[in-house]
Amino acid sequence: MGSHTPIVIFNFLAAGGFAMLLGTLLPAMLSANIHRRKTWFSMITSWIIYALSYLFILGHQFGPEPPRGLCVLQMIFIYASPPL
């Protein structure tokens, strides 16, 4: 087996993207002074779901294959996110 570095970097970027998108959405939702259009909320929510979908197999990337149901769930979220 090769180096795990690319996978760890990908996990870090996916988790960081999820956290930053969540950090972008929450202040706009919780603040009475920040006004955004519904389209903006829809787009950010779609990107959050997309970023989160890559974190489902976190911890299952090394060793035995992840459970089939988990892979199917990840596939559903990845392919359903762009039309959102």
pLDDT tier at 58 (50, 70, 90 boundaries)? confident
Give the C-alpha distances (Å, rounded to integers) separating 15 from 38, 41, 78: 25, 20, 15
Give the C-alpha distances (Å, rounded to integers) separating 61 from 18, 54, 68: 19, 11, 13
Helix, strand or coil, per DSSP, at residue 4: coil
pLDDT tier at 1 (50, 70, 90 boundaries)? low
Residue-wise pLDDT tens digits, 69-84: 988 988 888 888 777 6
